Amino acid sequence: MADTKREIERKYEATDATRLPDLGRVAGVDRAVPRGRTELDAVYWDTPDLRLAADDLTLRRRTGGGDEGWHVKLPVAAGVRDEIREPLSDTLPPTLAALLRSRVRHAEIAPVVRLLSSRDVHHLLDADDRLLAEVSVDTVLAERLAGEGSGATATWTEIEVELADDGDPAFLDAVEKRLRKAGVRPAASSSKLARALAETTPAREEKGRPKSAPSTAGDHVLAYVRKQIDAIVRLDPAVRRDLPDSVHKMRVATRRLRSTFKTHRAILDRETTDPLGAELKWLAAELGLDRDQEVLDQRLGSHVEDVADTLVLGPVRGRLRVWSAARRTGARSRIIDVLDGKRYLDLLDALHALSADPPLRPAASRNPGKVLPRVVTKDHKRLAARVEHALALPPGPERDTALHEARKAAKRARYAGEAARPALGKPARRFAKRVKAVQSLLGDHQDSVVAREALRTLGIQAHAAGETAFTWGLLYGREEAAAEARERELPEVWARAAGPRLRADLKHR
């Protein structure tokens, strides 16, 4: 069973002659206690093109110390990583291989670097003998095992300060202040592996011009496209670990990417993007099976809690739990099966290929100030037509469907504004914000439509079981009133997003 540890640490440059200052003088520290020396032997694995290292991920098999075994480290923030551990074995544990699959895909992984570290450990304790941080002085020998520089070695000494579990990150600031006073400076590399790769890679002359800031319409669209692709890949391990909101975020990234392909057909050749869009639609639908039920559960559950106890008649909460559990059975395993499947991995390969060699059309080379306002305005016109059509319909199922179609158009227009923001600045930000308000209102309306259908089903089931359906009918009525309120609000919210000035500003920033 994998064990996860949140690792918050800082690294510092040192030499063989470096001596730790008296860290017992750091605020909050009662004493620094030596814990002896440990010999560590770690082999780091990666693909031939170092995909894991490129994304600041590490996979290692380490012996020695109190946590020997297989470790995967996933970046969370600067100086913060989640370390997922499995016991020592001869082969990579499947649980860890799965966390790397969105990066590795169909490639092979093999040892690339070996690090031998002699670690001198000190514990910083408070007056109650509680561990505040572990300070290690590591003397490292690195050997390149594969790729450029194979056989090359490098040596260095560094200091690591790792915060204790549940510690206050501000404590690391106090330790750093003390180290800096002693002349110790932060390390240039984010990890031992990064330093080992840098110091064992043969120096070579840089070819070509350095990357410049986005200047063409294509540059800006591709930047947004690559951001969404990176999000899908980055969120894959989080979805596998069932981290909060990870499925929702990954689904949003797939929708943003698919929407961008539709909006920017003048920039990206649709012969390439249309098939990818179809696959992204499939992925979003698979991710949505559990997410949609989660949203519905939260909505219905909160509504039940808002009802006075005197109006909750019958086993309402129990029936809701059973109904929800039945609908969510197998959803989690289905998502994992999708992420492990060939179709998903082929999609990731295709997205990577598009990012590396984008199918640009002539409009991609044009001025973004000319191209992007036109495509954003075009998406806004589609939204306007759908909103006006929906508002012209009488209340009822047909209007509900029309409002749902308008919501989809609002998402597309919003994403177009977001993609254009780096090029068009505040006008694009304002446009996206106003359209998002329309989308949010229509989203709440659609959630009410879905909730009412669920409440009707629950009421029928309760009646068939000989229970009173009173509470389900009460909740249905409240949802109906909420939807009517959203419909009354729509003209005003839409008016703020429909003004000609909002679109005109995109062209005259």
Quickly list DSSP for 6-44.
Answer: EEEEEEEEE-TT-----GGGSTT--EEEEEEEEEEEEEE
Q: How far apart are CA 161 and CA 135, in angstroms?
A: 5
Please check the confidence at residue 36 and state whether its pLDDT lies above 90. Answer: yes
Radius of gyration of the chain (CA): 28
Q: Taking Cα atoms as reference points, which of 59, 74, 37 lies closest to residue 113? A: 59
Q: Decide if domain 3-200 falls under CATH 1.10.3720.10.
A: no
Q: How far apart are CA 63 and CA 487, in angstroms?
A: 64
Q: Decide if domain 217-507 falls under CATH 1.40.20.10.
A: yes
Tell me the pTM.
Answer: 0.90
What are the pLDDT digits (tens) for 337-374? 999 999 999 999 999 999 999 999 999 999 999 999 99
Contacts of 201 (CB under 8 A, 6+ apart): 144, 148, 149
Query: Taking the CA of residue 383 as centre, how many other CA atoms within 13 Å lie in the half-sphere pointing to its CB?
Result: 32
Beta carbons of 44 and 59 less than 8 angstroms apart:
yes
Mean pLDDT of 388-415: 96
Q: How far apart are CA 66 and CA 3, in angstroms?
A: 14
Beta carbons of 57 and 72 less than 8 angstroms apart:
yes
Q: Taking Cα atoms as reference points, which of 343, 344, 366 lies closest to residue 264? A: 366
Q: How far apart are CA 172 and CA 132, in angstroms?
A: 9
What are the pLDDT digits (tens) for 296-329? 999 999 999 999 999 999 999 999 999 988 887 7
More confident residue, 503 or 44: 44
The single-letter code of the amino acid at 234 is: R
Residues of the chain with CATH 2.40.320.10: 3-200
What pLDDT score was predicted for residue 377? 95
What are the pLDDT digits (tens) for 209-240? 456 778 899 999 999 999 999 999 999 999 99
Beta carbons of 214 and 364 less than 8 angstroms apart:
no
Q: How far apart are CA 409 and CA 88, in angstroms?
A: 52
Residues of the chain with CATH 1.40.20.10: 217-507
3-state class (DSSP) for residue 288: helix
